[in-house]
Amino acid sequence: MRRQRRPIVRLPSGSRAGEEPRDSPSTSPSRARPAIDKLRQQTSNYSHSGMDLDSSVVHDETYFFDDGDCLFQVENVLFNLHRVILGRDPESMFRSMFADAQGSSAEVISLSGDTAAEFRVLCWAMYLLPGDAYALSMEQIGDTEVKKYLDLLNMAHKYTLPHFEKWAWEMLSSVEDMLRPLQTYLNGCLEPGLEAAMALAIRCNLSSLLDLVLAILIKSAKSGAISASRVLVLGEKYQQRSLQTEIYIILWNRVQGRQDEGQAALIVSPLVGLGTQLGLTNAQMQRFFTGIVMLTSILAQIVSPGDPGTPCVYPSKECPCAGSTNEWRLMLAENRQHASKSTRTEIRAILQNAQSYGDKYRCIDEHLKSKNFCSDIDTYFLGPEPSTSS
């Protein structure tokens, strides 16, 4: 027997009055119109109910209501829902779509790119009763719940439902111990799951989620659970320059015999190609070699140069930077402290420290410029960041 229509309820919210979430999913109204146009492209093929439907199509056991006024087909499952429920969020793509719609409510809207399980999660959230929402906020969550809220986050973003998007993220991030359940779930994900989480974090502008995924990818590359080459591919695909640089420096340390505890050492041999031993593509090898050669060269100039004296290019009587020799030596001493650990963080600190001294002292600045100094560590491996200007 089909379920009867539930009462309309207000959207639950996990945040206190006047309190902003730590990470706010993107909710720009400008997303709505392009998203609506995209949905219309996806739903351009309509079929009248009972006429052209495949015999394998079945009614959803939970979300096919007798009094529903909008039919959706997702995979081989039919959902008969209520327009007023789908339009609860003021910015809902469904609300705008229904406002412009023509034709009969008996027509089936076929949604592509979603699974029935994902759409069912969206329905679950939209028909959720206030008491149930409150009870959920009091419960601990495990992997099953994390997967559900990630699916809701994805679907709410896709269909421009910012209130539901915000609520899904609050359920993942506002629990005790912060993001621990989410981190536990991601730790158990294979590469496809981590890539999906990375893409979701970028789409929804969730830096906390992105940081978790990047940390797990770096850890996986170190352990060999995911190849360095695959992590580099993901970094390039999603324009994560810091991730790519981190992997190149990890490989650089392995070649030098500097690996983390528990990480297998890499013994390079001239009898086997380095690219084969590192498992990199030709393009990745080119970036690797270019980066380590240029970084080695510039670090020699700002950490342990052969002549630690003043870099001043002026005759002593004309020097505009009184005491620059002592400042230069102080900078070298500070940089040597960072050089004991060849991590991206430490090398970045060396480069930025040199830049800060250049900003203070004209002599040091001109000396660094004469060496074509660059303070951005990612540029050494990946080249200048592409300009975003039109």
CATH of residue 91:
3.30.710.10
Let me know if residue 229 belongs to a domain: yes
Let me know if residue 214 belongs to a domain: yes
Structural domain count, the chain = 3
Residues 33 and 108 in one domain: yes
Q: Residue 72 has what pLDDT?
A: 94
Higher pLDDT, 342 or 224: 224
Higher pLDDT, 125 or 29: 125
Q: Residue 220 has what pLDDT?
A: 94
**Rounded mean pLDDT of 336-354?**
87
Q: Residue 141 has what pLDDT?
A: 85
Using alpha carbons only, how large is the chain's radius of gyration in Å? 28
Mean pLDDT, the chain, as a whole number? Answer: 81
What's the angle, vertex CA 24, arms to CA 19 and CA 26, rounded to 5? 140
Highest mean pLDDT among 37-51, 200-214, 255-269: 200-214
**Residue 326 confidence (pLDDT) above 60:** yes
Residues 233 and 313 in one domain: no
Last residue of a domain, one of 217, 246, 280: 280
pLDDT, tens only, 265-304: 677 777 777 777 888 999 999 999 999 999 999 998 888 8
Let me know if residue 300 belongs to a domain: yes
Higher pLDDT, 55 or 73: 73
Residues 297 and 339 in one domain: yes
Q: Residue 36 has what pLDDT?
A: 46
Supply the DSSP symbol for 47. Answer: E
DSSP conformation letters of 102-157: -S-TTEEEEEPS--HHHHHHHHHHHT--HHHHHHHHHS---HHHHHHHHHHHHHHH
Q: Are 166 and 23 in contact (CB under 8 A)?
A: no
Higher pLDDT, 250 or 29: 250
The pTM assigned to this predicted structure is: 0.79
Residues 299 and 355 in one domain: yes
For residue 375, the SS3 value is coil
Residues 170 and 214 in one domain: no
Residues 289 and 342 in one domain: yes
pLDDT tier, 19 (very low <50, low <70, confident <90, very high otherwise): very low
pLDDT tier, 45 (very low <50, low <70, confident <90, very high otherwise): very low
Let me know if residue 8 belongs to a domain: no
Count Cβ atoms within 10 A of the Cβ of residue 301 and give its class: 0-12 exposed, 13-18 middle, 19 or more buried.
middle
Name the residue range of residue 63's domain.
Answer: 29-188
**Residue 360 confidence (pLDDT) above 60:** yes
Last residue of a domain, one of 280, 304, 335: 280
Let me know if residue 2 belongs to a domain: no
Residues 276 and 168 in one domain: no
Let me know if residue 16 belongs to a domain: no
- Provide the greatest CA pair distance for the chain: 97
Q: Which of 11-20, 115-124, 156-165 has the lowest mean pLDDT?
A: 11-20
**Rounded mean pLDDT of 219-246?**
95
Let me know if residue 1 belongs to a domain: no
pLDDT, tens only, 154-213: 999 999 999 999 999 999 987 556 678 899 999 999 999 999 999 999 999 999 999 999
Residues 249 and 290 in one domain: no
**Residue 4 confidence (pLDDT) above 80:** no
**Rounded mean pLDDT of 370-390?**
85
pLDDT tier, 8 (very low <50, low <70, confident <90, very high otherwise): very low
Residues 251 and 287 in one domain: no
Q: How far apart, in whole angstroms, are the C-alpha atoms of residue 173 and residue 8? A: 27
Q: How far apart, in whole angstroms, are the C-alpha atoms of residue 382 and residue 172? A: 34
Let me know if residue 152 belongs to a domain: yes
**Residue 355 confidence (pLDDT) above 50:** yes
Last residue of a domain, one of 263, 280, 297: 280
Residues 147 and 42 in one domain: yes
**Rounded mean pLDDT of 4-14?**
36
Q: What percent of the chain has pLDDT over 90?
A: 46
Residues 348 and 321 in one domain: yes
Sign of torsion over alpha carbons 282, 286, 288, 289: positive
pLDDT, tens only, 199-209: 999 999 999 99
Q: How far apart, in whole angstroms, are the C-alpha atoms of residue 195 and residue 234? A: 7
Q: Residue 77 has what pLDDT?
A: 96
Q: How far apart, in whole angstroms, are the C-alpha atoms of residue 174 and residue 184? A: 15
Q: Residue 33 has what pLDDT?
A: 45
Q: How far apart, in whole angstroms, are the C-alpha atoms of residue 70 and residue 72? A: 7
Strand order in the sheet with 77-81: 46-48, 107-111, 70-74, 77-81, 58-64
Residues 119 and 37 in one domain: yes
Residue type, 38: K
Q: Residue 319 has what pLDDT?
A: 60
